[in-house]
Amino acid sequence: MNFEFTENQSMFRDMVRDFSRQEIAPIAQQMDEEGTMPDALLAKLREGGFFGLSFPEKYGGMGIDTVTYALVIEELSKASAGVSVMITVHNSVGSYPLAMFGGEEVKQAFLPRMAAGEIAAFCVTEPGAGSDAAAIASTARKEGEQYILNGGKIFVTNGSRAAFFVVLARTPGTVGHKDIHAFIVESGTPGLTVAKKEDKMGLRASDTVAIDLEDVAVPAEHLLGKEGDGFKVAMSALDGGRIGIAFQALGIGQACLEESIKYAKVREQFGKPLARQPVIAEKIADMGIELEAARLLGFQAAWLKDQGQPCTKQAAMAKVAATEAAWRAADAAVQIHGGYGYCKEYAVERYYRDVRVTRIYEGTSEIQRLVIARQLLAG
């Protein structure tokens, strides 16, 4: 067993680390305060190829493997989880369904545009269907050579900036997961509108919106996979998505650890630095142990995906382990910073807010445990 990264993987990680330190970290606090992301940063991300990370090269992407992708997401997340969620949603659940299940003509038309930085979003969640994604009520009615979509989606990451939406909808009058279809819908299609922007606790640089669908006409060739494949399309995209969220959490957790080490070395109480107080040193050791253990699970899931092997259980395990380790790391980081950790002047205050959602989106910790238990108990 070899735990070393290839030269290419290390080079990618170092390049993204430098980019994140130079271009993202200096404005991360301001983006959080203003709840937005400057166009200049979006332009640099496009120029750097961040919107085509995992796309095949023949469609204009970089075609990097999942392990490299994980390294990229962790580095971006250390600087800004708001930026990294935009990139990971675009590269995984936003575009993967098209890359894996789209017809060749549609792929040739849309993937190069996505790789060049036209942003993709993923629309499953509805007011009545969160964890129970098979309960969606949005409908798709076949009319000649097109489908007519009606309904509404909530919590759509990238929604106000997106050029493309992966939308799940069902045949009218059906229930369960068998009659759900997935479509790729272009923004600007009449009837697709942004209804509301959420005012969130964290990830404030990222936009999360509700989408209305009113008689949205989608060409039949924009169906992903076959009729009835929608649930399968979403679930297979979520395996990769969950690996991305695991590494997003690890990036935030690692930033918490690094800030805590820095602070504990300079802050003195009782005549010596916090780092030399055994209780604080133990907190730092625990952060390191838990993050490293979760990282190994994450790389195992990424490696399995790269081998083309099933990775649903490992992706779910990695997501739970990483998001919960990062959550504890953020809590410890605020504690180590004392009262300053509760103030916006210190980045750990932002990390604490940003990390919270990683246990909720792309499948809550509770749902991941159901997925894991189902697989373990089936054996």
Ligand X SMILES: Cc1cc2nc3c(=O)[nH]c(=O)nc-3n(C[C@H](O)[C@H](O)[C@H](O)COP(=O)(O)OP(=O)(O)OC[C@H]3O[C@@H](n4cnc5c(N)ncnc54)[C@H](O)[C@@H]3O)c2cc1C
Residues catalogued as catalytic: 362
Q: Which residue is nearest to ligand X (CB)?
A: 130
List 366, 373, 374, 376, residue binding ligand X (CB under 6 A):
366
Closer to ligand X at the Cβ: 250 or 357?
A: 357
Q: Which of 160, 193, 277, 364 binds ligand X (CB under 6 A)?
A: 364
CB of 122 to ligand X, least distance (A): 5
Q: Which of residues 17-76 bind ligand X (CB under 6 A)?
A: none
Cα–Cα distance for residue pair 358/198, rounded to 1 Å: 17
Q: Which is nearer to ligand X, 68 or 323 (CB)?
A: 323
On the CB side of 138, CA atoms within 13 Å amount to: 30
Cα angle, residue 165 at apex, residues 230 and 236 outer, rounded to 5°: 35
Closer residue to ligand X in complex, CB, 157/314: 157
Q: What tokens does 313 get?
A: 């259980």
Q: Which is nearer to ligand X, 215 or 366 (CB)?
A: 366
Rounded Cα distance between 244 and 242, Å, is: 5
Q: How far is the CB of 361 from ligand X (least distance, A)?
A: 4
At closest approach, how far in Å is the CB of 14 from ligand X?
30
Instruction: Pick the piece of the chain touching ligand X (CB under 6 A) from 106-114, 268-276, 311-319, 355-363.
Output: 355-363
Residue 199 host element (H or E)? none
Q: Which of 76, 156, 255, 355 binds ligand X (CB under 6 A)?
A: 156
SS3 352: helix
Sequence letter at residue 209: V
Q: Should residue 361 be labelled a site residue for ligand X when binding is judged by CB under 6 A?
A: yes
Closest to 83 measured CA to CA, from 221, 238, 204, 263: 204
> Between 39 and 199, whose beta carbon lies closer to ligand X?
199
Site string for ligand X, 88-117 (x = CB under 6 A): -x----------------------------
Q: What number of CA atoms fall less than 13 Å from residue 237's CA on the CB side? A: 32
Does 231 engage in binding with ligand X (CB under 6 A)?
Answer: no
Give the span between the Cα atoms of 250 and 166, in whole angstroms. Answer: 27
If one asks whether residue 357 binds ligand X (CB under 6 A), the answer comes out as yes
Of 120 and 287, nearer to ligand X (C-beta) is 120
Q: How far is the CB of 207 from ligand X (least distance, A)?
A: 10
Burial of 278 (0-12, 13-18, 19+ CB in 10 A): exposed
Q: How far is the CB of 127 from ligand X (least distance, A)?
A: 8
Q: Quick one: 283 or 359, whose CB is closer to ligand X?
A: 359
DSSP state letter for 213: E
CB of 208 to ligand X, least distance (A): 5
Q: Residue 184 in contact with residue 151, Cβ under 8 Å?
A: no
**Cβ atoms 151, 138 nearer than 8 A:** yes
User: Which DSSP helix (H) or strand (E) runs through 181?
Assistant: strand 180-186
**For ligand X, how many residues bind (rule: CB under 6 A)?**
21
The residue behind tokens 């003509």 is 105
Residues in contact with ligand X, shown as a per-residue x/- string from 115 to 144 under the rule CB under 6 A = -------xxxx----xx-------------
> Residue 370 CB, nearest distance to ligand X (Å)?
6
Taking the C-alpha atoms of residue 176 and residue 71, their distance in angstroms, rounded to an integer, is: 37
User: What does the block give as tokens for 329?
Assistant: 């790391």
Range 237-276, binding ligand X (CB under 6 A): none
Q: What is the number of other CB atoms lying within 10 angstroms of the CB of residue 369?
A: 14
3-class SS of residue 159: coil
Give contact residues for ligand X (rule: CB under 6 A).
Answer: 89, 122-125, 130-131, 155-157, 200, 203, 208, 357, 360-364, 366-367
